């Protein structure tokens, strides 16, 4: 393995980063001593694995399948994203529960491995109505009707897109203003 970096043997003194290459396996491992994170790339499989030693979380990306798997070693939870199908599957190892989200249909299916029960939530009304024109479609996914308005900027999207976005971000898709709230949106009726 070859170390590459800034001022020393593979260490950049300004950022606290170290980068390790393995030309035989096609993998790279990046350390950030300031944040306690590690990022591992595998160029052959198209996967990336990110560790955060401070929070005990791991985030795995698979660029070939479009999936992401997030693990939190402190809480025992796992959250799996599939960007191709728009679904999320959340595991909680402490309670034995699994919760499956389908962002395209808005449905949720909850499993309880300890009791063997399943609870399915129906598709919300705001997803069952078809948009009447292209102007009514979410400008992010173009699959659902506009159903949410962001505060304070008043930009709009469907609830599935904003809920997905707010899991990791707090800013507006469009203008980057900090979102302070999300309200239901219904198209004004023509008078």
pLDDT tens-digit profile of 88-122?
Answer: 666 565 555 666 655 555 555 555 555 555 554 44
If you count them, how many residues does the chain have? 191
3-state secondary structure of 162: helix
User: What local confidence, expressed as pLDDT, does residue 153 receive?
Assistant: 93
| Residue recorded with tokens 């239901």 | 184
Strand partners, 40: 29, 49
Q: Give mean pLDDT, residues 32-59.
A: 68
CA distance 69 to 61: 7
User: What local confidence, expressed as pLDDT, does residue 158 receive?
Assistant: 86
**Band of the pLDDT at 11, cuts 50, 70, 90?**
low
Residue ranges per domain, the chain?
Answer: 2-125, 128-184
CA distance 15 to 12: 6
To the nearest whole percent, how much of the chain has pLDDT over 90?
5
CA distance 47 to 39: 11
CATH topology of domain 128-184: Herpes Virus-1 (3.30.40)
Kindly tell me if the per-residue pLDDT of 152 is higher than 90.
yes
Q: Are strands 11-12 and 17-22 parallel, antiparallel or unpaired?
A: antiparallel
**Band of the pLDDT at 149, cuts 50, 70, 90?**
very high
- Main-chain phi, psi angles of 172, to 5 degrees: -70, 140
User: What local confidence, expressed as pLDDT, does residue 73 receive?
Assistant: 59
Domains 2-125 and 128-184 alike in fold: no
93 CB-near residues (< 8 Å, 6+ apart): 76, 77, 78
Return the top range by mean pLDDT from 102-111, 119-128, 182-191.
182-191
CATH topology of domain 2-125: lipopolysaccharide transport protein A fold (2.60.450)
Global pTM value: 0.33
How many whole angstroms from its chain centre is CA 21? 27
Kindly tell me if the per-residue pLDDT of 190 is higher than 70.
no
User: What local confidence, expressed as pLDDT, does residue 27 receive?
Assistant: 72
Transcribe 163-175 into DSSP letters: HHHHTT--B-TTT
Evaluate whether 123 touches 135 at the Cβ level (below 8 Å).
no
Closest CA to 99 of 86, 114, 118, 84: 118
User: What local confidence, expressed as pLDDT, does residue 99 receive?
Assistant: 61
């Amino acid at each position: 393995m070859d170390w590459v970096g800034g001022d020393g043997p593979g260490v950049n003194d300004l950022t606290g980063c170290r980068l390790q290459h393995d030309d035989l396996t096609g993998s790279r491992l990046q350390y950030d001593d300031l944040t306690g994170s590690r990022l591992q790339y595998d160029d052959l499989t198209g996967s990336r694995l990110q560790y955060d030693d401070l929070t005990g979380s791991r985030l795995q990306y698979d660029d070939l399948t479009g999936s992401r798997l997030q693990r939190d070693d402190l809480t025992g939870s796992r959250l799996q994203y599939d960007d191709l199908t728009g679904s999320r599957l959340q595991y909680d190892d402490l309670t034995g529960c699994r919760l499956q989200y389908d962002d395209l249909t808005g449905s949720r299916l909850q499993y309880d491995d300890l009791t063997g029960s399943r609870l399915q939530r129906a598709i919300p009304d705001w997803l069952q109505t078809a948009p009447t024109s292209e102007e009514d479609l979410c400008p992010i996914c173009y699959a659902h009707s506009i159903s949410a308005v962001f505060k304070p900027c008043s930009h709009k999207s469907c609830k599935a897109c904003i809920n997905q976005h707010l899991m990791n971000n707090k800013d507006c898709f469009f203008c980057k203003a900090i979102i302070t709230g999300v309200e239901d949106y219904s198209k004004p009726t023509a008078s």
